[in-house]
Homo-oligomer: A and B are copies of this chain.
Amino acid sequence: MSRPQRVPRAELRQAILESARGILDREGAPGLSARAIAREIGYTAASIYNVFGSMSDILMEVNRDTFARLEQLFDSLPATGTPAARLHLICQAYISFMRRNPALWSALFGGIRQRENFPDWYGEAIRGLMGRLALLLCEHAPELDPERAGRLTEQLYVAVHGAVALEVDRRLDILTAQSASEIAASVLDAMLSRLKPKA
């Protein structure tokens, strides 16, 4: 192999991550391997281990980026309409993002390259996303105490997760003719209508 010029660590790191994202996008999770990345960036598989400790670490960095993209997505949605409508919008945006990027979902939650311990920022990122939902829930039902709003938000997220997980694995249609979007909308409606039976 012709030896590449030495390159700043950070640049190589970036190249690896970009390549990983590209492969995930183009070929899905099963196409991602150390050798595939290496081939693409003109290095050898072993070189990747000078920068990252494991394949799982690379996926974690991809995840960090995915969470950032989700935050941006959520914040780029129009802030108009009732809180209920905005909640629906966020849920649908989340689902459609995952539908467009199934491999990113696999990296986030799929069984692909399981790990024991997740870094703190992982949970914080998810809680950050959920915080936006909780705020809207409180707006929708002002008398709702924030702690209960938090719990309801977590329940909503978990339910939506179920729908997305099944849809990304192409298993949802085995259970139901409903789409993930419809299921999420119904669950959200059930939750909202309970808080404000008449509005």
List the interface of chain A (C-beta within 8 A of B): 30, 106, 109-112, 114, 116, 118, 122-123, 126-127, 130, 151-152, 154-155, 157-163, 165-166, 169-172, 174-176, 178, 183, 186-187, 190-191, 193-194, 197
The reply to whether B154 and A158 contact each other, CB–CB distance below 8 Å, is no
Residues of B within 8 A of A160 (CB): 162
**With the chains together, A163 CA to B194 CA distance in Å?**
21
Q: List 29 A-B contacts (CB under 8 A).
A: A106-B111, A109-B165, A109-B166, A109-B169, A110-B111, A111-B111, A111-B169, A114-B169, A116-B170, A118-B171, A118-B174, A151-B178, A151-B186, A154-B175, A154-B176, A155-B159, A155-B187, A157-B175, A158-B166, A159-B162, A160-B162, A161-B162, A161-B166, A162-B162, A162-B163, A162-B165, A187-B187, A190-B191, A197-B197
The reply to whether B174 and A158 contact each other, CB–CB distance below 8 Å, is no
Residues of B within 8 A of A130 (CB): 175
